[in-house]
Amino acid sequence: MNALLSVSDKAGIVDFAKALRSLEYSLLSTGGTLKCLRESGLEVCDVAEYTGSPELFDGRLKTLHPKIHGGILHRRAHLDDVNTAKDHGILAIDIVCVNLYPFKATIERTDDFDEIIENIDIGGPSMVRAAAKNFADVLVITDPSDYGLAIEMLQTQRSNLEFRRAMMIKAFEHTASYDTMIANYMNQRFYEGFGTKQFIVGNKVFDTRYGENPHQKGALYEFGDFYTKQFTTLKGEASFNNLTDLDGAVKIATSFGDAPAVCIVKHGNPCGFAIKENLSESYKAALRSDPVSAYGGVVAINGILDKALAEVINEMFIEVLIAGRITPEALCVFESKKRIKLFECGSNQLIAPKDRVDFKHIQGGFVFQEADRIGESEVQDARQMGQVAVDKSQKRDLEIAYKLAALVKSNCVVYVKECALVAVGMGMTSRVDASKAALAKAKEQNIDIRGAVLASEAFFPFRDSIDEAAKAGVSAIIEPGGSIRDDEVIAAANEHGMALYFTGVRHFYH
């Protein structure tokens, strides 16, 4: 029995090789793996010695040889294949353990294209694909985490078709994701990320209980390792809808650096947000915006959740809570609450992946784009369009309102006062209707809007929204500008004595 070992990631490979030798497998290897195994005292045959063909072109050509691929691909149940292998001195290779050149690590480390090209594996994917194709006879291993299970299966002679099939699927996933990474990198380097094909690959983290509704299946997949390494479940199980709401809440709560921000989300939209002197005051202010909607909502705490804050939050039903860290004492507060779900994400503050790209499924395909970002100085550099200027505290409120507006479903308006969300209108077909809906909700909650600032993610097409804001006592407005009626909007702001700022950048969120 023969096993071919050629790995870039050498974690666990020596122990795996020793276990194979104890099962009387002869070992074949190349390059760095060969050296590593021999230094550990193992008897290993150099692939070049076996094939009679030396490594060529600085190692570009090592394993592309009939004795290697014939040994992997010939079908043991086909007499003609077996006889052909014998005639050509081809030994059966029963195990192929390969993982590929570190292309991802290379592009993260350097922009040197020559070095990047040399870290595109050729022989490795070929061997993996060959072994996967012939999984009926060959066991292919591409993931070091499978070494232990593979040895256990071989020791107990349970290396059955089902196990080899599972490893085959994993092998094709391995080569597919590798090629995808290379293709996407080349498209990014030479076509700004918009080549003739776009590949989206994710690694499965876990199944959700179901999808958006109970009759749908669902699961979480990640692009890198954010959810595997940073997202920790402390209590409960994240559902499909929980995850989408968590994403929105964390995205907003992390938009203000290490500020003690608290965001409350319900059905994909923020219904509460505040930045006060501490997290406790921030939560109380965020909750005041719309406690009815907050019931059963998702709360993101940009900091450490301690016992005192946990006791305040525990006064009403919150379904999902995520913080940078949750103390053991705070966990105890929620111990008797069966329905609450608790997660950590980061350390002292929340962490968000901040993906570079964004996409959305449509029937028959998907639309793909660069991820939207609010520039670091977008609000600070906004142009004063009217006669009235804002003071420092109003400018801070404008920044909060504008960042919130970019993450609220369009058409939207956001009202902020003293660093807290006080009213929001979202997802309306008319911006003036969004303004009216927000103000009506604030009136229901007995929230005084006077002195608040107003933000819109897109321009106001008419002055009617400005007039509505004036009636409510809004002191300042920020919007992108760009309407053919901007002059009317500016005139309305001046008439009402309101400050008006244009950023020049639209932030639709559909």
Instruction: Say if 2-191 and 372-502 have the same CATH topology.
Output: no
Q: Over the stretch 262-285, which tens digit does the pLDDT of each residue have? A: 999 999 899 999 999 999 999 999
Mean pLDDT, rounded, for 170-175: 95
pTM of the predicted model, to two decimals?
0.85
pLDDT at 436: 87
The model's confidence at residue 347, banded by pLDDT at 50, 70 and 90, is: confident
Mean pLDDT, rounded, for 85-101: 91
As given in the structure block, the two tokens for residue 49 are 């010695």
pLDDT at 104: 87
Mean pLDDT, rounded, for 423-451: 90
Best CATH choice for the domain 2-191 from the list 3.30.70.1450, 3.40.50.300, 3.40.50.1380, 3.40.1390.10: 3.40.50.1380
Q: Is 443 a catalytic residue?
A: no
CB 350, CB 487: distance < 8 Å: no
What share of residues in the chain are helix, strand, coil (percent, to 5)?
40, 20, 40
pLDDT at 428: 87
Instruction: Report the C-alpha gap between 499 and 510 in whole angstroms.
Output: 28
3-state SS track over 41-85: CCCCEEHHHHHCCCCECCCCECCCCHHHHHHHHCCCCCHHHHHHH
pLDDT beyond 70 at 159: no
Instruction: Report the C-alpha gap between 13 and 226 in whole angstroms.
Output: 26
Instruction: Report the C-alpha gap between 19 and 28 in whole angstroms.
Output: 14
Q: Residues with Cβ < 8 Å from 173, sequence gap 6 or more?
A: none
Choice among 10, 18, 104, 133 that is catalytic: 133
DSSP 439: H
Choice among 235, 267, 284, 337 that is catalytic: 267
Q: Name 273's bridge partners.
A: 263
Domain ranges of the chain: 2-191, 230-345, 372-502
CB 55, CB 62: distance < 8 Å: yes
Give the number of other Cβ atoms within 10 Å of residue 145's Cβ: 9
Mean pLDDT, rounded, for 210-233: 93
| 250 phi and psi angles, rounded to 5 deg | -70, -40
Q: Can you tell me which residue has the tokens 């070091």?
A: 144
pLDDT beyond 70 at 306: yes
CB 103, CB 174: distance < 8 Å: no
pLDDT at 63: 84
Helix H or strand E segment including 261: strand 261-266
DSSP 90: P
Mean pLDDT, rounded, for 165-184: 94
CA-to-CA dists, residue 225 to 65, 291, 376, angstroms: 36, 35, 26
pLDDT beyond 90 at 334: yes
| 206 phi and psi angles, rounded to 5 deg | -165, 160
Mean pLDDT rounded to a whole number for the chain: 92
CB 310, CB 330: distance < 8 Å: yes
Return the CATH superfamily for domain 230-345. AICAR transformylase, duplication domain (3.40.140.20)
| 287 phi and psi angles, rounded to 5 deg | -65, -35
Instruction: Report the C-alpha gap between 248 and 268 in whole angstroms.
Output: 6
Which fold is adopted by the domain 372-502? Cytidine Deaminase; domain 2 (3.40.140)
CB 506, CB 374: distance < 8 Å: no
Q: Is 69 a catalytic residue?
A: no
pLDDT beyond 90 at 58: no
